[in-house]
Structure 1
Amino acid sequence: MDGDAGQTNKIGGRVLAAASVTVVLWASSFISIRSSGEHFGPGALAFGRLAVASLVLGVILLIRRGGIPPREAWLGIVTSGALWFGAYMVALNWGEREVDAGTASMIVNVGPILMALLGGWLLKEGFPPKLMAGMAVSFAGAVVVGFATSGGGGSSLLGVLLCLVAAVVYAVGVVLQKPTLKHATPLQVTTFGALTGAVVCAPFAGQFVSEVGKAPASATAQVVYLGVFPTALAFSTWAYAISRSTAGKMGSTTYAVPVIVILMSWLFLGEVPGWLALLGGLLCLSGVAVSRMRGKVREQAPVDPVAGPVGAEAEAAAESTR
């Protein structure tokens, strides 16, 4: 038993370390997107980032002889890759042209509540009162952010809406990725997901090449950074962690992202959200916290709203031993 407990703690420590790497690198991506977005269009930036990530991950996959994912995994890889890697990055890049990095990160982190909502709809698990209450609070927060950033014009409000779109596809991507990891390795899922996203963004390849020739070296270096670290590395550590945990639990770890983003944005960009936008962002995150609140402990652990019925009982039992 002691050996089993030690092994469990060791795995738990690795999951925590992987999640921490993901959170910090994803937070840094909001800063790099905001900065490099001055020189690259949303689609071009997404293509460049994914092209770099695909190259790096492809080389690692070949070196480690990771192989090709089995047939059962391809539907999840392609759909999550197109949405999470492709659509998410374009929407976020575009949104950050209109709102500051801190505000964008707070809006995008509505994602965990959307994961629970999708679980209630797609997996027929119902809509608990706390989920509906959390949705109402988060929606109110998004409205406050919209009013705070609109300034009487429509451009910043568009940025808020684009960040909400990014949150939606992020949530869908996680829901699709979790069961896919039962059939393929985290490296396979991340590599071919990034490649799928690059293919989706391929229409922007010509624009990217043109803008590289005009952009300063520092902006191009940031694109490379986005591809290597927040994408190739961070998405790999995320896939590793979520394959050994629950999607709902992993989603909650991203609550720390906005705090880190606001600090980094202040240090490197000199940007801090206004008080009203900050209040709206905090409402968004509070709604997520309300939706994830647990009731009294029951004898039987509840099924995770995102992981679904497939293997959910085993995950709940594993969580209870940690």
Structure 2
Amino acid sequence: MNEKNKLLIDLIPDEWGSKLERDGFAVVNTHAPPADIQFTSPMHVALVMLSAQPDRQVALNSDRRQTGLAPVGSLELFPRGSDLFALWPTEKQSVLIAFTDDHLKQLAGEEFDNDTFSLRPLSIGSIDRDALEFAKRIKREIENSELGHVDSLNALATLLGVHMLRNYSTIQTRTELRSQGGLTPNTWRRVHDFIRGNLSEKLTLVEMAREARLSPSYFSRAFLKTTGQSPHQFVIALRLAQAKHMITETNEPLEAIARATGFSKHSHLTALMRRKWNVTPSDLRRDRDDIAASGESEGDA
């Protein structure tokens, strides 16, 4: 992100919670004391309440403040360039997801064949159950930072961005004429080959959907119907299987294997492998070596 977009992260105090920046979007998992904040937003922002906020005050591009109850699941949207004032008299837990203008325009073009839009701000207390579920999943990914959250956060942010555009923007959506089934055999083969050929690279939902020649949200649904897994879950499973093969069949260093199979670092691979199979890469390599040593001893005898 450029310096202008980093300002959004900088304006939120570090002690309020975890802050992450990715290509085109940023996420903040906040647990803030009573406070107020005022700034001009350099990004498009979605704020989802994870705790009820009585007597919350918000003013957007105006000196007039709305005051009211923001229950759990309330969604607030602040378009890029908005002058925002917000005050909360009680402790606040929330998830904030912010998109650069370029990123949201690209997503709108991929999903709707139209990158001209404006977001519609919401009044205090506007509940969105879908956005709440996205926020809860994003919070879990941030709190389990060793478990592959980069790819998962990218997918969740993409789907939330599509949700925002579809439900709270002026965009003219295209008519979805495709069936609600899974991927066709040819599309599945093309996507599967693309994933296998790029396991060592960052694989985003948008890139996989583009390979399938489908919109991101439709691709996500069709992929789940075809495989029983989300694209992110499927990619992680393939990466783990490839890593296991390389650990047991080659002498490559474990750090190199982690990078070759798309994991950011060895500890990332270790955490996921332990969670899925209750075993670590070092365990697999040691078991392999023990078996080989045992076979050599029997041959000598």
Does the pair score TM above 0.5? no
Greater relative contact order, per chain length (Cα 8 Å cut-off, separation 6+): 1
* Higher fraction of helix: 1
TM-score under structure 2 length normalisation: 0.23
More strand by share: 2
- TM-score, normalised by the number of residues in structure 1: 0.22
